[in-house]
Chains A and B, each alone.
Chain A
Amino acid sequence: MGDFQPSIIAFTCAWCGYPSAVLAGVNRIEYPTGVNIVRVMCTGMIEPAYIMRALEYGADGVVLVGCMMENCHYMVGNKKAQERADTLRPLLDMMGIGAGRLRTEWINASERVRFAAAMKDFSVALKGLGPNPLGRLGEGGVEAGH
């Protein structure tokens, strides 16, 4: 348990979230290895079902990383994403998964340090929460090797 490394699914938008992650890499800024990046065009395309599915399959945390509010490249995508996350978090609490496993971060494309810091912070918080109570599941409910 001491070396528990939270597995994080980071949905990053193509305009700010993803570039900030790339810049963090280019600049060799370290962030936790458990962060798995999924690039999407806009955080507004992330259905609550995507987040739920990630948690169902055993992600310890899910974070949506998009453009700063008012700066979305598709006008209101990030606002929609924030609303959806706000709706989902109480449900996660009700179910015993924990609202703390879902975060949103609104970061500019150039803010590589902020991206790395946000991931570190989330990872530390998830270590506090412990592993996903559902365990890490592979497709079809079979325990997958990590």
Chain B
Amino acid sequence: MSEKVVKRIIQDTHAFDCVECGKCTSVCPMTRHKKDFAPRLIVVKAMDSPSVETLARERDLWACTTCGTCSAMCPYKVDYTEFIRAMRAEGALLDVTPDCSQGGLLHSMMRMMAKGELVQDRLGWAKPPLRVAEKGDIYYFTGCSRHMAQVFEDRRGIDIGSVPASAVRIMNAAGVVPAVSRNEVCCGHDLNWVGDEDNFAALVDKNVAAIKATGAKTVVFTCPEGLRTFSKDYPVVAQDELPFKAVHISELLAGWIMEGRLRFKQTKMKVTYHDACRLGRHMGVYDPPREVLRAIPGLELVEMENIREKCLCCGVSGWISCDADTKLLQMDKLMEAKRTGAETMLSFCPKCQLHLNCARADNVPVERALIDIPVQDFTVFVANALEESK
């Protein structure tokens, strides 16, 4: 039975197309520091001995950050990331679980939202002068950045807690009053990527119901993970066709700027931009964030060496497998950012910010001056650059 499952996954992800060219290995950020790690080898092993039991216990299956650099580079378009996700889901059925960061606190939080009918305080940030609605065409998905900000409240320099308020501030400035819902739950991204498909499906049902109740046609995301999950995984799991489409806030922003609906104040600064994997490689949103930054007067965008599909990963995904090797990867990332001479690195992903800030706060194996660059949230930065309304 398990052989059949592995064969199906190989088929679905076109893993049999692999010609062993090794491009995936040479671009894989994990391979830089985990010497035996190679996306290709995980696939080759699966083809040689198609048993979920052995593969799921393979450390490499859980060490992958699913950043998707391999798939982006593969000349035969093997979907390695989906291969990894599907194998993890099979592994989870056999009770194989990864090493979770924070002892699994965050996964617990997500499962609780999936299992229970909780009356959450999800909209505590939506206070006047911010304008939100209960119903409307455009829905803003709050996500879990406030929850994460609370879990990591002892970390300095973290600004993800103010992402929802900043997003609505920008939308209000463009004349949009988004609908929000207190019944919304975690999007389920992390549970999906650690193979917990049952609880993921429960979250999907709750979110679809909550958004349906607002009558929205468009769901706006700041978080790249939410966007990816709603765009690519929800249609697979949801019982009916989704009555809305998911867009990223940067795509809307770029449009509003063109229409002249947003004005920015002079912001004399040099910044660099990090393409979060879920937003870039998974969703193909590379240009809109850059267009937004270019529209801010005085702001200079300096690019890193590896950008767009080659952008270096922040090191951890789904709150699993954070180890010494990921710390080295984070050093690579921070050093690259620092070399641009930018004052700050902007990213949409709250987790990229947390991971890179964590690496910065630790004992670092390199000269501190080489990695000394803050990581800030894109949405918060843009909201602060808005011209104050008269």
Give A residues with C-beta under 8 Å from B.
47-50, 52-53, 55-56, 83, 87, 90-91, 93-97, 133-135, 137, 141
**Stretch with Cβ within 8 A of A (4 or more), from B82-90, B116-124, B292-300:** B116-124
In the complex, what distance in Å separates the CA atom of A16 from the CA atom of B121?
36
Q: How far is the CB of B197 from chain A (nearest CB, A)?
A: 13
- Mask of B263-283 contacts with A, CB within 8 angstroms, 1/0: 000000000000000000000
Is the pair B105, A95 in contact by a Cβ cutoff of 8 Å? no
Is the pair A56, B108 in contact by a Cβ cutoff of 8 Å? yes
User: Can you report 8 residue pairs joining A to B where beta carbons are below 8 Å apart?
Assistant: A47-B102, A48-B102, A48-B105, A49-B108, A87-B151, A94-B121, A95-B121, A133-B116
Q: How far is the CB of A61 from chain B (nearest CB, A)?
A: 15
B153 contacts partner chain A, Cβ-Cβ < 8 Å: yes
State which of B115, B122, B147 has its C-beta within 8 Å of the C-beta of A91.
B147
Is the pair A95, B117 in contact by a Cβ cutoff of 8 Å? no
CB nearest to A52 among chain B residues: B108
* Majority-rule SS of A interface residues: helix
State which of A56, A83, A91 has its C-beta within 8 Å of the C-beta of B151.
A91
Is the pair B108, A133 in contact by a Cβ cutoff of 8 Å? no
A95-B112, A97-B118, A133-B118 known; A90+B104 contact, CB < 8 A: no
* Majority-rule SS of B interface residues: helix
CB nearest to B118 among chain A residues: A96
Q: How far is the CB of B116 from chain A (nearest CB, A)?
A: 4
Beyond A87-B154, A95-B113, A134-B116, list 20 extra A-B contacts (CB 8 Å): A48-B105, A48-B151, A49-B108, A50-B103, A52-B105, A52-B108, A56-B111, A91-B147, A91-B150, A91-B151, A94-B124, A94-B146, A94-B150, A95-B120, A96-B118, A97-B112, A133-B118, A133-B119, A134-B115, A141-B115
B370 contacts partner chain A, Cβ-Cβ < 8 Å: no
Interface size class of B (residues with CB under 8 A): 20 to 34
In the complex, what distance in Å separates the CA atom of A90 from the CA atom of B151?
9
Q: Which residues of B contact A87 (CB under 8 A)?
A: 150-151, 153-154
Is the pair B108, A53 in contact by a Cβ cutoff of 8 Å? yes
Q: Which residues of B contact A137 (CB under 8 A)?
A: 115
In the complex, what distance in Å separates the CA atom of A123 from the CA atom of B322?
39
Q: How far is the CB of A72 from chain B (nearest CB, A)?
A: 19
State which of B112, B146, B150 has its C-beta within 8 Å of the C-beta of A134.
B112
CB nearest to B101 among chain A residues: A49
Q: How far is the CB of B104 from chain A (nearest CB, A)?
A: 5
In the complex, what distance in Å separates the CA atom of A49 from the CA atom of B151?
11
Q: How far is the CB of A99 from chain B (nearest CB, A)?
A: 11
